[in-house]
């Protein structure tokens, strides 16, 4: 049924929230600002690191504080982005199976391209054929431009897989089917509010959606 699977990164392919929260709190502590719990960071992520910085800083912060926090965050995250990050259970096995079935797997993320490349290649190697992250010249999601370029390049019928409303909106903007996943950072209620075609509770259910429905 699907020839191309476009995966989100954070909260979909990899559980990155521990390292994102650690980098955020490191920057906040350096700046003498209040810290946040991991659950709060789950609501801050999804629109790229600059937006994460904006959300984690106290209301009424200045543009110069955003610049300072972004610099501290990026330097720390660059060194510690793999400390706690790990693949979701059975995800690698699914990617191997999809590849064997002739289904192309790619990634569209709002995370910086450099960080995305390093994380994905270290865990999944070439099972993810292409990565379209921030810094590739495309607007951030929910703009569909990166997804559309991946579809133009690889062809076939595409399914977008992600854990947030931003991902569901990106799929809708690209005019393709979406599958929301419940193992990531956002709630079922958020995903359902965008009316995706599918919702998967775990990787096994996602496998059934992709492989069980192929013609």
Closest CA to 135 of 115, 112, 117: 112
Instruction: Determine whether 8 is an active site residue.
Output: yes
Give the whole-angstrom CA distance, residue 199 versus residue 195. Answer: 9
Q: What are phi and psi of 179, to 5 degrees?
A: -125, 115
- Give me the catalytic one of 3, 8, 10, 215: 8
Give the closest residue to 110 by CA, choosing from 177, 207, 16.
16
Q: Could you identify the residue written with the tokens 């106290």?
A: 58
Question: If we measure between CA atoms, which residue out of 1, 6, 2, 5 comes closest to residue 142?
Answer: 6
Catalytic residues: 8
């Amino acid at each position: 049924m699907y020839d191309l699977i476009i995966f989100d990164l954070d909260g979909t392919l990899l559980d990155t929230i521990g390292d994102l929260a650690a980098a955020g709190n490191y920057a906040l502590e350096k700046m003498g600002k209040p810290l946040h719990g991991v659950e709060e960071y789950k609501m801050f992520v999804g629109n790229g690191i600059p937006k994460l910085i904006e959300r984690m800083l106290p209301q009424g912060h200045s543009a110069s504080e955003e610049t300072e926090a972004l610099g501290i965050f990026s330097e720390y995250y660059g060194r510690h982005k793999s400390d706690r990050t790990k693949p979701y259970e059975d995800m690698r096995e699914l990617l191997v199976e999809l590849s064997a079935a002739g289904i192309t797997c790619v990634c569209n993320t709002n995370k910086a391209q450099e960080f995305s490349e390093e994380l994905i290649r270290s865990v999944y190697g070439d099972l993810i054929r292409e990565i379209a992250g921030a810094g590739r010249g495309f607007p951030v999601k929910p703009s569909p431009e990166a997804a559309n370029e991946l579809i133009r390049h690889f062809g076939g019928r595409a399914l977008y897989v992600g854990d947030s409303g931003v991902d569901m909106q990106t799929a809708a903007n690209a005019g393709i089917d979406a599958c929301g996943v419940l193992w990531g950072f956002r709630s079922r209620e958020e995903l359902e509010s965008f009316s995706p075609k599918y919702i998967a509770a775990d990787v096994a259910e996602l496998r059934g959606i992709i492989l069980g429905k192929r013609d």
